[in-house]
Amino acid sequence: MNKTKSCCLFEDQLEFFSPMPHRIKGTERDGLPESFDLHVAPSACGRRMAIGSYQRNSRNRRAHLYISESDIVSGCYEDLVPEAVAQILATVKPAPRAISVIVTCIDDLLGTDHEALLMLLQKSFPETHFCIRRVDPIRRHTAPPPPVNMQVSMFSMLDPSTVREDAINLIGNMPPIVKDSELFSLAGEMGLQVRQIDDCATFDDFLAMSRSRLNLVTTPIGLAAAQEMEQRLGLPYLYAPGTYRIEKISAAYQAIAERTGKALPDLSSYQETARREIAAARARLGDTPIVVDSSGDFRPLSLARTLLEYGFCVRLVTENLIFDGDLTDYHWLRENHPEVEILPPNSAELDRRSEELAGCLCIGFSSAYLLNAKHLVDFPDLFFFYGFHAVHVLMERMIAACDCEADFGKIMRESEGMAK
């Protein structure tokens, strides 16, 4: 089965969006180093990305090329892109090494020839790398969704290399994996350097990723990019998405060691600590009903299954778009815990369940807000948690959430304004 495929659990319905806090604490850059984003769309489309870039202090690496009604009618707005690129290269100092041209939903309908545009840009500006990124949620349930496309297009800028270095790339985690994860220390013990986009200080550091020995795919959204890189660059990948299951985490490290020809360090202390932390959280939460929201984890069905296996009382999961690799978790839930309800995220139904589930502990802000959940496990971090460290963080936060009531207003207030 092709693991990049995705499917929807529910029929289309009207969607209700919770207010979502936007994480703004402390990053100086998002995206590739020494790169620039050119957003080509009607003015309305880029608003949230632009405001987000102000909040993250990264507005100097973005420009907007507004498409007008007449551009749409004439159907040749891509003709404006080379001129815009020329102006960017003349205006932005130092000139960006790479430019991502971001297009939106209307592009899917206008039939823009992206390949031809890319070739034209590369020919006209040979010193600059280009990629085209589609942010087109009208295709999110039928084609690879936008975050998957974003990974594919970013890594399409890597060139083939005959050199192989003792390094692994982290693919698919949009925020970087936090350095507290044992992944880094274990890799160090194995003599492996860990490369991820957010740690690249220069565009050359990014290009060096093509010289790594292995792509470690940490979320389903990185899988298509890894498959593309395997085909085009001969760079093998290991699909080991974030999980809270001790045996799966251990198996991922075992696989990394095998695939890179390294000896696996002893994991027993990590495993033992994780078991202790899970038991402590289980004891503290007791029968507290738990809701696992898709805004709280990349793989909420997998998380729900794991929590149930650990003895937690999961009542509800929200998820709609799932990748084939995660279908087994869905079927396991249906067969073993049919009492656990699965609802689509952004469903107005959640609001009507608020009385019934108000005392719950919700992992993820979106559903917690709609349910007015008493306890919230939030992830305000601009980091991704991985490995045994992820288990530690989740259990610690579940216990902490039990000890206090969710303050949604405080979280929203902290997400507004400019980055401090």
Partner 1 sequence: MSQLCFYLPPFSSDYAGACSSLFDLEGMVIIHDGACCSRNYVGFDEPRWFGHKRPIFCSGLREVDAVLGADDKLIEKIQKALQTMDRPQFIAILGSPVPTVIGADLQGIAMELEDAVGIPSFGLSTTGLSYYNRGIDLTAAALVSRFTQPRTGGRPGTANILGLTPLDFSDNENAADLRVFLETAGWRVGCSFMMGASLEDIRDAANAEVNLVVSQSGMGLARRMWQRWRIPYVVGTPAGTDHTALAERIKRACETGVCIPMGEASLEPGGVLIVGEQVLANTIRERLAAQYGLHGVTVGTFFGLDRDLAQPFDLDLPSEAALVELIQSGRYQVLAGDPLLQEIPGSERLDCFSIPHVAVSSKLYWHDYLRFASAEMEGLLARIAQAGHKCAGETGCAV
Q: Which residues bind partner 1 (CB under 8 A)?
A: 12-17, 19-20, 22, 41-48, 50-51, 54-55, 59, 63-69, 72, 80, 83-84, 87-88, 91, 104-106, 108-110, 135-143, 346, 348-349, 351-352, 370, 408-409, 412-413, 416-418
Q: Please name which of 16, 73, 78 lies closest in space to residue 41, comparing C-alpha atoms.
A: 78
The single-letter code of the amino acid at 8 is C
What is the length of the chain? 420
Bond preceding residue 94 cis, omega within 30 of 0? yes
C-beta separation of 274 from 268 below 8 A:
no
Residue 80: exposure state from Cβ atoms within 10 A (0-12, 13-18, ≥19): middle
Q: How far is CA 334 from the centre of its chain?
A: 26
Separation CA 322–CA 326 (nearest Å): 6
Whether residue 288 contacts residue 407, with contact meaning beta carbons closer than 8 Å, is answered with no
Q: What is the DSSP letter of 273?
A: H
Q: Render the burial of 220-242: b for 16+ CB within 10 Å, e for the rest.
A: bbbbbbbbbbeeebebebbbbbb
166 token code pair: 């003792």
Q: Give the helix ranges, DSSP H, for 125-190.
A: 146-155, 182-189
* Nearest CA-CA partner of 21 in 382, 279, 392: 382
Cα pseudo-dihedral 55, 57, 60, 65, rounded to 10: -20
d(CA 358, CA 370): 10
Distance, CA of 167 to CA of 157 (rounded, Å): 19
Three-state SS sequence of 332-365: HHHHHCCCCEEECCCCCHHHHCHHHHCCCEEECH
**Dihedral sign for Cα atoms in the order 175, 180, 184, 186:** negative
Distance CA 291, CA 373 (A): 9
Pairing of strands 193-195, 375-377: unpaired
